[in-house]
Amino acid sequence: MPIVAHNELPSFARLRDEGLTVLSPERAGRQEIRELHVGLLNMMPDAALAATERQFFRLVGESNPIAQFYLHPFTLPELARSPKAQAHIDSYYDSFAQLREEGLDALIITGANVVGPELSSQPFWEPLIEVIDWAAENVTSTLCSCLATHAVLQFRYGQQRVPQPDKIWGVFEHRVTAKSHPLVGDINTRFDVPHSRWNAVSPQQFASAGLRVLAQSDAVGVHLATSADGLRFVFFQGHPEYDTVSLLKEYKREVLLFAEGRRDDYPPFPDHYLATREQALLREYRHRLDAALAADSDLPAFPEQLIEPWLDNTWHDTAEAVVGNWMGLVYQVTHRDRRLPFMEGIDPDNPLGLA
């Protein structure tokens, strides 16, 4: 399913350079394939804004080539931005008002950084709820990532996320628990997913909300679930879109916060992510960092270039398969006029015909 570069967003060029099929509008116009318009509500902080675009665009673009994807990033004006990030948004992002008028076939909502435990007190809460309400009535399917999953569970299902004593951080094994659902068709029955969160919605809460749990972990709970109809909402509690280096970059950020005195404790390693050699390199780095801090001298360079080539990615193939299945389902049940979400003869309460 090739992506169509309908504007000059830099992520399109970067993905094309990586070998992903990205079509010009002229080339796309000559192809006899139906188009799908997918929104990306990108609420990630400035440093991760463009990387998050590429991560989700990559998963959509690697789907089976049965459609042309027009990807429409947008964000919420209530999220504070640096001048550089705001210029990027002003140049390349759509507005929610524009997308609401034109319609979307599918929507992805990312996570976001929050201050404090209560989601409903965040400045983006009310505008996010407005997007979720609109999508529930007008978009065939909305995929929610991490914090967005927690927001929908709280707002629409009355299930409040629970703070955890320790951060759920690392790469964890999961198992498919509902093999008959087409969203998990032909994927590995056991697969890994990165997680990075301080809060959780438990399996019991998903069950109480009447949701379909499709994959979960003994260690960290539910990763993949859907609304009762099987498609209207798709929930990720983990981050299958993460790049191989994403957790390393998070670890580096936390180490630098410690070095700057903005974090009290030295961060632990993400679980099940770094092998013995890489852990040894990072322990050696900590010794040199501690010595530099004690001597009030220049800090040593973080050894990411020594570590990155040795990191393993054990999740991307399954993430690609799940998102590919999701795009295929959206394609099957979406009306050619995306302002009319379901084709004639399809039950909007059970569009997949699930038992």
Catalytic residue annotation: 146, 239, 241
Q: What is the 8-class DSSP label of residue 351?
A: T
Phi, psi of 67 (to 5 degrees): -155, 165
What contacts 6, CB < 8 A, 6 or more positions away?
Answer: 25, 70
The two tokens of residue 59 are 């998963």
Contact (Cβ atoms closer than 8 angstroms) between residue 3 and residue 61 = yes
Q: Do residues 326 and 227 touch, judged by C-beta distance below 8 A?
A: no
Pseudo-torsion of CA 161, 42, 318, 178, nearest 10°?
Answer: 40
User: Cα–Cα distance between 234 and 231 in angstroms, integer?
Assistant: 6
Residue 13, both tokens: 């060029």
Contact 142, 132 (CB under 8 A): yes
